[in-house]
């Protein structure tokens, strides 16, 4: 049976593919505005980052604090939120680092100060444009390789360890 997934979540231990339940708008907005501790993901596949072993489940509850990076596989044509993401004005080139069980670096473009607590556009999650993932071994796994082909990604700014802002 083929299941179409629309959402990708990276944690310290797993890459999770599935469909976020009750998604009423773009994933970045759902993550940023959620008032719950757990996000429900339907038709979830968890890929272990160390062994590439797969676990499939019809429903998974993911703690929002565990999410490092997220991405949404949807048609981007005519999307006003994504058009805003794809404007070149006032974006800073940055490198961000998550450290802990999974040490990973992402290089890309963010709005100036988007990672700060006083940013008025986002609270917890922020969109990075043209991300390049470094320090991550995809082990040749087709699903883990998806992390290198994203046009944008959603970062959990509360989990960021270090930020190098080139501006």
Domains present along the chain, CATH in parentheses: 7-72 (2.30.30.100), 80-165 (2.30.30.100)
Tell whether the model's pLDDT for residue 1 goes beyond 60: no
Which structure tokens are listed for 16? 């999770």
Which structure tokens are listed for 66? 């565990």
CA 55/CA 113 separation, integer angstroms = 38
pLDDT tens for each residue of 26-74: 999 999 999 899 999 999 999 999 999 999 999 999 999 999 999 998 7
**pLDDT band, very low/low/confident/very high, at 78 (cuts 50, 70, 90):** very low
Q: How, if at all, do strands 152-156 and 69-72 pair?
A: antiparallel
CA 162/CA 40 separation, integer angstroms = 29
**pLDDT band, very low/low/confident/very high, at 5 (cuts 50, 70, 90):** confident
Q: How much is the pLDDT for 3?
A: 57
pLDDT tens for each residue of 82-137: 555 455 568 999 999 999 888 999 999 999 999 998 988 888 999 999 999 998 88
pLDDT tens for each residue of 107-120: 999 999 999 989 88
């Amino acid at each position: 049976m083929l299941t179409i997934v629309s959402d990708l979540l990276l944690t310290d231990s797993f890459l999770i593919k599935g469909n976020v339940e009750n998604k009423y708008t773009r994933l970045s907005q759902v993550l940023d505005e959620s008032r719950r501790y757990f996000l429900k993901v339907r038709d979830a596949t968890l890929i272990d980052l160390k062994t590439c072993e797969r676990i499939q489940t019809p429903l998974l509850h993911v703690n929002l604090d565990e999410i490092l990076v997220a991405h949404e596989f949807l048609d981007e044509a005519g999307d006003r939120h994504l058009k805003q993401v794809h404007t070149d004005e006032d974006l800073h080139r940055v490198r961000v680092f998550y450290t802990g069980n999974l040490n990973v670096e992402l290089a890309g473009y963010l709005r100036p100060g988007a990672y700060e607590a006083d940013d008025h556009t986002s609270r917890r999650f922020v969109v990075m444009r043209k991300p390049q993932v470094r320090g991550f071994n995809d082990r040749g796994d087709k699903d883990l390789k998806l992390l290198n082909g994203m046009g944008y990604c959603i970062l959990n700014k509360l989990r960021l360890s270090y930020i190098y802002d080139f501006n």
